Amino acid sequence: MTLYQATKIRPLDIAFVLDAKSLEQLATILSEAALYLQYTITFADGTTVRYPVVKEVIEQPNPTNNAIVSLIAGTPTEEAQSCYIVFRSKPAPTLEYTINGPQERVVYLSHKFDQWIETIRQGYSILYRPAVAWLILAVAIYSPIFLWDHVVSHFLLNVPATGSCVKSLFSLGLWAFWILVATTLLPKATFALGQGARRHQTIKNIRASLSYTIPLAIAGSLVAAWLHDHYRR
């Protein structure tokens, strides 16, 4: 049987979390392609360092003032069979892998990579698709205004109508708020190693808190406003 050489390059612009466990799993997959591996880390200060074993990557302190901004894991040299995978926050794509070798091995390894990538992909990745992002942003901005104009007004009859200027300022404020939430609480590239693991856990805790405190706050304010208006009559 003829073994044809093949190459596969797959870019993926997704949100991911890379931690110690996932890195060890990746090392296991990469070891099927080559005996010796290399991990190239770029830090926030522009320094690039190459490490020969995954343990040294996992043990990086990853402080806030000099965090990991990109990682390339794979075979150190271009051989008959080679593969590497790139992780970065920007520019897009955030993740990209390249595999070279016999066609059968390329198909096998790409399947392994695809399965592994699904374990680090974050559920909110879809929010970074331009069409989805604009749709959700529009809903997040205008639904409170719609709620106030068409729902609350039926309960709070004494509340004056909101002017267009106030609505514009309110919309601008909501736009800034949701952009801040997306960039801070829904990061595209997370290197949960060293201090980065604690930062990631803090973000997860904040997201969990907001998921129920915001709806409760909205519901509570509506009930309080209705009660206030009702007992004034």
pTM value is 0.75
pLDDT at res. 207: 81
Q: What is the pLDDT of residue 126?
A: 77
What is the pLDDT at residue 33?
87
Would you tell me the crossing angle of helices 164-185 and 195-232 to the nearest 10 degrees? 150
Q: Which residues of the chain have pLDDT under 50?
A: 1, 156-157, 159
CA dihedral 153, 159, 160, 164 (to 10 degrees): -60
What's the rounded Cα separation, in Å, for the pair 233 and 225? 13
